[in-house]
């Protein structure tokens, strides 16, 4: 069962959901809008001949920071990593990341597969931004980029994410899949 705006607001007040810089105007009927940060990680295309995750052959990344005025130009067919401005999490609720339909209609994918945040995981989420359009899309820091939904668990989890999680506080780079610079 997903939480309504009323439930989300109550959970914020009761400290069972944490969202940095919570702004009531970003609260939707069943979700909360989050914004894009200013740092992006781009793959250095020349750093490997191919990517082989099983054998840990992974590309190197370059971190760039842009202002809202200049923006980041996401070219067609390119995937980059970005990060949310908001840090959020909950001990009690499963959080689901969802793209915004207005941006999806333009060809922007916000996450390829990594859309679930386990209870106990507090983070600025890393976006897997991809342009599926045939023309560039300008991404600007501070823009509404995605929304998060909160689902009630049928019971508390037996495991604590902080003990088993791959991407705990400050770790940043588990097996090379999440580059350190953006975390």
* Rounded distance between C-alpha atoms, residue 165 and residue 169, angstroms: 10
- pLDDT at 72 (0 to 100): 98
Q: Which residues are catalytic?
A: 128
Range from 34-43, 49-58, 71-80 carrying the lowest mean pLDDT:
49-58
3-state secondary structure of 51: coil
Higher pLDDT, 111 or 138: 138
pTM of the model: 0.85
CB atoms within 10 A of CB 147: 19
* Rounded distance between C-alpha atoms, residue 97 and residue 31, angstroms: 10
* Rounded distance between C-alpha atoms, residue 36 and residue 72, angstroms: 11
Q: What's the full length of the chain, in residues?
A: 183
Please tell me the number of Cα atoms within 13 Å of 53 on its side-chain side. Answer: 4
In order of 43, 56, 63, 136, 177, the CA distances from 60 in angstroms are 6, 12, 10, 23, 11
- pLDDT at 115 (0 to 100): 86
Name the band, by pLDDT with cuts 50, 70 and 90, for residue 166. Answer: low
* Rounded distance between C-alpha atoms, residue 99 and residue 60, angstroms: 26
């Amino acid at each position: 069962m997903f939480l309504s705006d009323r439930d989300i607001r109550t959970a914020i007040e009761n400290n069972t959901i944490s969202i940095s810089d919570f702004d009531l105007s970003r609260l939707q009927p069943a979700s909360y809008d989050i914004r894009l940060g200013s740092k992006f990680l781009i793959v250095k295309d020349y750093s490997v001949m191919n990517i082989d995750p099983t054998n840990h052959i992974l590309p190197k990344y370059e971190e760039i920071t842009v202002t809202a005025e200049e923006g980041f130009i996401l070219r067609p067919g390119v995937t980059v990593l970005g990060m949310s401005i908001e840090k959020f999490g909950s001990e009690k609720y499963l959080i689901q990341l969802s793209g915004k339909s207005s941006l999806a209609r333009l060809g922007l994918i916000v996450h390829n597969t990594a859309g679930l945040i386990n209870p106990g995981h507090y983070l600025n989420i890393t976006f897997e931004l991809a342009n599926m359009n045939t023309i560039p899309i300008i991404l600007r820091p501070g823009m509404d980029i995605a929304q998060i939904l909160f689902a009630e668990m049928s019971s508390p989890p037996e495991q604590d994410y902080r003990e088993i999680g791959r991407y705990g506080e400050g770790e940043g780079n588990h097996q090379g899949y999440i580059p350190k610079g953006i975390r």
